[in-house]
Amino acid sequence: MSVKQRTQAFCAAFGLEVPLLMAPMAGSSPPGLAAAVAQTGGMGACGALALDPDGIADWVARFRQMSGGSFQINLWIPDEPQPRDAAVETSQADFMAGFGPRPEVPEGPLLQDFDAQFEALLVAQPHAASSIMGLFRPDQVARLKEAGIKWIATATSLGEALEAEAAGADAVIAQGAEAGGHRGAFTPEAAGRASVGSLALIPVLADALKVPVIAAGGIGDGRGVAATLVLGASAVILGTALLRTPEADIAAPWAEALAQARPEDTVVTAAFSGRPARALRNRFTDAVSAPGAPAPAAYPVQRFLTEPMRKAAVAERDPERLYALAGQAMGLARAEPAEKLLRRVWQEASDLLPS
């Protein structure tokens, strides 16, 4: 099947005009950005990790006020519950006091109710539901199919991709190691060691799977889009490339840091959340990885322990403590309206692709 045939088949199946998807960036996927992507004929996205059912419903309502286009809702599959370690958490709180207000060790439930989020997703009726950090349960997959909602699963390896296809995924995201944000591996242990780049991962998945492959990681312009489609992907996800658009509305110091960073300026670290994620390297990430530094607490406790520092970094415009998620192609991101960026990128890619 040619590139054109693959992309056209994907667009027909997922209700798109162009094979470009917005990354569902938790905390950085406002309805306005998703609507702008959808208005170009691509797929908008809601990163629903921190949203309760009412929050999901509100996001969807605001999106639909702006666009009748396609969108996905993304949920994190919960890890197996880990026992709390008071000594580790206290040590980390003491360590964080060197970077801002000493945080309180959090108590009580720290995550949204996953089953309640899933029910809200079904009510919202997005064009697609996407998963990261694992797979939906068989009963949930069956309910998605009954509702006519496509399931897009994230994989960082061939093994994970084959599991996703066998579980009923309608498409699989090949998340290369270059991608910004959290690693989508099925277990925390795998997330710490998964490092397969997009150029190696995409063609292997494309050859092995019967369902479409969606490329993600290190793609910031039309050249990257064209290259990954030639490698066998049927569609492409853009994440970091959209963060400098006005619709993304990220904190000013984050946008400024992205504009100045080089590909080698990122690091995969669990320092901010307890789960490995690619972010801009700074004084805090260096301190966490220095000899003698206490190990980060498990996810999601670490996310709460770093929250005071993260808020202070934004308020004080301090890039050395900033939680600035970024993929390795961040230097290609431009400060231009999202619709203009998407149309430019797709035109660039179309000019390069075989007719």
Quote the mean pLDDT of the chain.
96
**164 vs 210: CA distance, rounded Å:** 11
Who wins on pLDDT, 237 or 100?
A: 237
pLDDT (tens digit per residue) in 70-126 = 999 999 999 888 888 999 999 999 999 999 999 999 887 889 999 999 999 999 999
**46 vs 169: CA distance, rounded Å:** 19
User: In percent, how much of the chain has pLDDT > 90?
Assistant: 93
Fold of 3-352: TIM Barrel (3.20.20)
pLDDT (tens digit per residue) in 173-228 = 999 999 999 999 998 888 877 689 999 999 999 999 999 999 999 999 999 999 99
Res 24: pLDDT: 97
Res 194: pLDDT: 66
Please state at what angle helix 252-260 crosses helix 307-315, rounded to 10 degrees. Answer: 80
**43 vs 342: CA distance, rounded Å:** 11
Q: Per-domain residue ranges for the chain?
A: 3-352
In degrees and rounded to multiples of 5, residue 43 shows phi and psi of -115, 120
For residue 166, pLDDT over 90 is answered with yes
Res 150: pLDDT: 98
Res 224: pLDDT: 98
**72 vs 289: CA distance, rounded Å:** 35
Contact 301, 89 (CB under 8 A): yes
**176 vs 222: CA distance, rounded Å:** 17
SS3 sequence of the chain: CCHHHHHHHHHHHHCCCCCEEECCCCCCCCHHHHHHHHHCCCEEEEECCCCCHHHHHHHHHHHHHHCCCEEEEEEECCCCCCCCCHHHHHHHHHHHCCCCCCCCCCCCCCCCCHHHHHHHHHHHCCCEEEEECCCCCHHHHHHHHHHCCEEEEEECCHHHHHHHHHHCCCEEEEECCCCCEECCCCCHHHHHHCCCCHHHHHHHHHHHCCCCEEEECCCCCHHHHHHHHHCCCCEEEECHHHCCCCCCCCCHHHHHHHHHCCHHHEEEECCCCCCCEEEECCHHHHHHHCCCCCCCCCCCHHHHHCHHHHHHHHHCCCHHHCCCECCCCHHHCCCCCHHHHHHHHHHHHHHHCCC
pLDDT average, residue stretch 243-249: 97
Number of residues that make up the chain: 355
pLDDT confidence bin for 229, thresholds 50/70/90: very high
